[in-house]
Amino acid sequence: MTQINKQWRIAARPVGRVEESDFDWVEEPVPALQEGQVLVRNVYLSIDPTNRGWLNETRTYLPPLPLGSVVRGTGLGVVEASANERFQPGDRVMGLLGWQLYALNDGRGLTPVPELGVPLTAHLGLFGHIGLTAYFGLLEIGQPRTGETLVVSAAAGAVGSLVGQIGKIHGCHVVGIAGTDEKCRWITEELGFDAAINYKTESVPERLKALCPRGVDIYFDNVGGPILNAVLSRINLRARIVLCGLISQYNNAGSPVPVNLGALLVQRARLEGFIVLDYVPRMMEAFPHLAQWYMQDRLKYRVHIVDGLEQAPAALNMLFDGANQGKLIVQVSDEPG
């Protein structure tokens, strides 16, 4: 029986929020398997802020997607058929499988998913690129030391929630910035952050002054814009700023908010961009620590699953509305039995 693939392809460059008209929904037969290829059925699709950047015409850390191509995205799936000796039917794999039900792949870029006794979705979160981002971004660039003050933006998000907890494990005073009272309660009451700021209802500069009386030593930035500048106004000498994301700017069709470079100069601080791809070769350094902290109940996470590949464009907008509660994932098909 011929298998029918379902795909989202990019039809237009989005301006601001993505619209369904920016994509084409395509259903077509899956091509025959060629020598060396692997057919993967997508089970879960990771929805990340970087997905929005990949839709633009400008180059990011990966080339822009040509119009008409399958939308790029990280997927976790199961091998349905293989003409590649490295993979067998039933293997669970991860990679840039794209916004589609089936992905034909030559095996390059596919990573086997180990059996860790955790839900499959954890491999797109704590034990995937999200966990690696939090671990290496904070520890390698932020270099936390006991007694220092760490501020985290998008603190209830997939990455930020882990960063704050790892900061606490390393003895930091941790202040999180989030967008709802519920999220602020979650990161303080359940995750152990010392304090939280609701940036939608509170003055971030005033609350930073009250909650960080000794200044800010480390800032893990996921948002950019005015919140970045508010934190820069409080940084200490030799502060470290981890520039992990600029989600407040991704849908901004106008000019980006300028960075307060004066604060960096006066405080001789370091602001460094971070892309987790640079650290993938070192992932086995991180996973034992993440697993230990998870087993000790010192590291918690949650996922937000949206059902159906058809919902992927709407799910992407949830990241920018703050509607997701934890790591955002689209379930494309049933988990393997």
Q: What is the pLDDT of residues 301-331, one digit of tens each?
A: 999 999 999 999 999 999 988 888 889 999 9
pLDDT at residue 76, as a whole number: 97
Please state the domain count of the chain.
2
pLDDT at residue 70, as a whole number: 97
- Mean pLDDT, residues 240-256: 77
Q: Which residue has the tokens 């606490």?
A: 168
Are 196 and 319 within one domain?
no
The domain spanning residue 50 has which CATH number?
3.90.180.10
Angle, CA 166 vertex, CA 165 and CA 169 arms, to 5°: 90
Is 269 among the domain residues?
yes
Is 244 among the domain residues?
yes
Are 172 and 270 within one domain?
yes
Q: What is the pLDDT of residues 36-70, one digit of tens each?
A: 999 999 999 999 988 998 998 887 888 889 999 99
pLDDT at residue 72, as a whole number: 96
Are 152 and 113 within one domain?
no
Q: Answer yes or no: are the C-beta atoms of 7 and 101 closer than 8 Å.
A: yes
CA distance 220 to 176: 10
Are 71 and 201 within one domain?
no
Are 20 and 75 within one domain?
yes
Report the b/e string of 310-334 with b at 16+ CB within 10 A. Answer: eebbebbebbbebebbbbbbbbbbe
Are 270 and 201 within one domain?
yes
What residue type is 126 in one-letter code?
L
pLDDT at residue 59, as a whole number: 79
Are 52 and 111 within one domain?
yes
pLDDT at residue 256, as a whole number: 66
- Mean pLDDT, residues 91-105: 96
- Give the model's confidence band at 16: pLDDT under 50 very low, under 70 low, under 90 confident, else very high: confident
Is 37 among the domain residues?
yes
Strands of 231-312 (E only): list them. 235-243, 270-273, 303-307
pLDDT at residue 321, as a whole number: 85
Task: Find the domain containing 95 and state its range.
Answer: 4-124+301-331
CA distances (Å), origin 313, targets 10, 14, 217, 310: 11, 11, 37, 8
Spatial CA neighbour of 117 closest among 245, 294, 301, 254: 294
Is 314 among the domain residues?
yes
pLDDT at residue 1, as a whole number: 66
Whether this model's pTM surpasses 0.75? yes
Is 337 among the domain residues?
no
The domain spanning residue 217 has which CATH number?
3.40.50.720
Centroid of chain to Cα 144: 21
pLDDT at residue 137, as a whole number: 98
- Give the model's confidence band at 254: pLDDT under 50 very low, under 70 low, under 90 confident, else very high: low
pLDDT > 80? residue 334? yes
- Mean pLDDT, residues 189-196: 98
DSSP 56: S
pLDDT > 90? residue 189? yes
Coil vs helix vs strand at 74: coil
Output 59 or 110, whichever has higher pLDDT.
110
Tokens of residue 101, six digits = 């039900």
Coil vs helix vs strand at 281: helix
- Mean pLDDT, residues 131-159: 97
CA distance 114 to 172: 32
Is 243 among the domain residues?
yes
pLDDT at residue 337, as a whole number: 77
Percentage of the residues of the chain whose pLDDT score is greater than 90: 82
- Give the model's confidence band at 146: pLDDT under 50 very low, under 70 low, under 90 confident, else very high: very high
In the chain, how many H helices and how many E strands? 10, 15
Are 92 and 168 within one domain?
no
Are 244 and 106 within one domain?
no
Are 118 and 135 within one domain?
no
Are 191 and 264 within one domain?
yes
- Give the model's confidence band at 241: pLDDT under 50 very low, under 70 low, under 90 confident, else very high: very high
- Give the model's confidence band at 273: pLDDT under 50 very low, under 70 low, under 90 confident, else very high: very high
Angle, CA 190 vertex, CA 184 and CA 196 arms, to 5°: 25
pLDDT at residue 143, as a whole number: 98
Are 143 and 235 within one domain?
yes
Is 336 among the domain residues?
no
DSSP 142: I
pLDDT at residue 320, as a whole number: 86
pLDDT > 70? residue 161? yes
